[in-house]
Amino acid sequence: MGTISLKNVRKSFGDANIIPNANLDIRNGEFVVFVGPSGCGKSTLLRLIAGLEDLTSGTIEIDGKNVTDAAPSQRGLAMVFQSYALYPHMSVRNNIAFGLKMAGMPPAEIDQKVAKAAATLNLTEYLDRKPRQLSGGQRQRVAIGRAIVRQPEAFLFDEPLSNLDAALRVNMRVFIMQLHKDLGTTMIYVTHDQVEAMTMADRIVVLNRGNIEQVGSPLDLYNNPDSLFVAGFIGSPKMNFVTGAEAEKHKAKTIGIRPEHLEIASGRGGWGGTIALAEHLGADSFLHVDTETAGRLVVRAPGDFRGKDGDKIVLKPDMARLHKFDDNGKVIR
């Protein structure tokens, strides 16, 4: 089992209230991603679950057992850090085996577990190498291997791919998703990268200034954001927001429309404007359009769209995909 429950969890550093009040239930076998901007409290929340930080108040339960005051080693969790945290003087084999040796496990059993983890992670041929002889992706797999051999109730990942280049991040992202599928173990993953969140998560937890803004599946957050913050954070490029007279027409303080839900139209009836900047990326083109009544909008166009800076254009929103928000930034349904 790997259920985790946070009940009225608070964390303060002096007068700074980092986590005001967090309540969350994570189901066994789920892949849950904590996402939000820098300083939103996502890593702090992960460290509270791991036992690396003390709670100011509240309760943490793992598999129904109160572990609020339990040491990290007593929680049945394994954490993977963005810095890998490998011992540079040890071989891959000894890095993976280190925790098992410290726990006093018999050598034969250690060898068996290390061999199995290495095979799972495609590290068998690197077992006798030192970390300095490995690529960034291989080092991260060693760090994951050290976690796997402990057979934890849940894995905690703290921005594990942030030190990797773009291509390697994609490969490791797919690798971790496949690993979750193979192991079926609960995983909590912290990232500021919403692409990682959208592609990897069963559920996403969006944090803002220590508060849980919304919890839901990737598509639920994309299609039904509860607030301006979630609407603007989930989706790339971010949602366009329009205020003033255009929003008032829809009895809202702010209206939002995603770049992919704007149609490039001919004639009148939409938002007319001028292309200020055209970004041609191959499969897609992103057009930054200065409109006459809705301000600057970004529209996602086909890759073969021939628009260029200075061209006149008309944009029509898909009214079924228009989001409305009130004075407090909350969605109007």
| 68-80 confidence digits (pLDDT tens) | 999 998 999 999 8
pLDDT at 203: 98
* Residues 305-327: b if buried by 16+ CB within 10 A, e if exposed: bebeeeeebbbbbeeeeebebee
pLDDT, average across residues 243-259: 96
Max CA-CA distance within the chain?
77
Residue percentage of the chain with pLDDT more than 90: 76
Over residues 135-141, mean pLDDT: 88
| Order of strands across the sheet that contains 323-325 | 240-243, 254-257, 323-325
| Segment 80-84 mean pLDDT | 82
Residues contacting residue 106 through CB under 8 Å, at least 6 positions apart: none
Q: What's residue 29's pLDDT?
A: 96
Q: What is the pLDDT of residue 169?
A: 85
Question: For position 122, what pLDDT does the model report?
Answer: 87
pLDDT at 137: 86
User: In terms of pLDDT, which residue wins out, 254 or 170?
Assistant: 254
pLDDT band at 289 (very low <50, low <70, confident <90, very high): very high
List the single range of 65-79, 153-167, 223-237, 288-302 with lowest mean pLDDT.
Answer: 153-167
What average pLDDT score do residues 27-46 get? 95
Confidence of residue 160 (pLDDT cuts 50, 70, 90): confident
- Residue 231 near residue 239 (C-beta atoms within 8 A): yes
Task: Report the alpha-carbon distance of residue 32 to residue 190 in Å, rounded.
Answer: 9
Give start-end residues of each CATH 3.40.50.300 domain in the chain.
4-230
Q: What is the CATH number of domain 4-230?
A: 3.40.50.300
pLDDT at residue 267 above 80?
A: no
- Dist CA 86 CA 89 (whole Å): 9
- pLDDT grade for 161, boundaries at 50, 70 and 90: confident
| Average pLDDT score over residue span 297-324 | 93
**pLDDT category, 11, cuts 50, 70, 90?**
very high
CATH architecture assignment, domain 239-325: Beta Barrel (2.40)
Residue 314 scores a pLDDT above 80: yes
Average pLDDT value over all residues in the chain:
93
Contact 83, 143 (CB under 8 A): no
Q: What percent of the chain has pLDDT over 70?
A: 99
Q: Over 80: is that where the pLDDT of 154 sits? A: yes
The identity of residue 58, as a single letter, is: G
Q: Are 278 and 318 in contact (CB under 8 A)?
A: no
Rounded-to-integer distance, Cα 11 and Cα 303, Å: 47
**CA separation for the pair 279, 285 (Å, rounded):** 5
- Count other Cβ atoms within 10 Å, centred on residue 328: 8
Stated pTM of the model:
0.91
* C-alpha torsion angle, residues 264, 270, 272, 278 (rounded to 10): -30
All CATH 2.40.50.140 domain ranges of the chain, comma separated, are 239-325
**At residue 53, does pLDDT exceed 80?**
yes
* Residue 266 pLDDT greater than 80, yes or no: no
Other CB atoms within 10 Å distance of the CB of residue 237: 15
* Confidence (pLDDT) at 248: 96
- Work out whether strand 31-35 and strand 186-191 pair parallel, antiparallel, or are unpaired: parallel
Q: Does residue 329 surpass a pLDDT of 90?
A: yes
Q: What pLDDT sits at residue 2? A: 87
Encode the chain in three state secondary structure.
CCCEEEEEEEEEECCEEEEEEEEEEECCCCEEEEECCCCCCHHHHHHHHHCCCCCCEEEEEECCEECCCCCHHHCCEEEEECCCCCCCCCCHHHHHHHHHHHCCCCHHHHHHHHHHHHHHCCCHHHCCCCHHHCCHHHHHHHHHHHHHCCCCCEEEEECCCCCCCHHHHHHHHHHHHHHHHHHCCEEEEEECCHHHHHHHCCEEEEEECCEEEEEECHHHHHHCCCEHHHHHHCCCCCCEEEECHHHHCCCCCEEEECHHHEEEECCCCCEEEEEEEEEECCCEEEEEEEECCCCEEEEEEECCCCCCCCCEEEEEECHHHCEEECCCCEECC
Query: Alpha-carbon distance 18 to 36, whole Å?
Result: 14
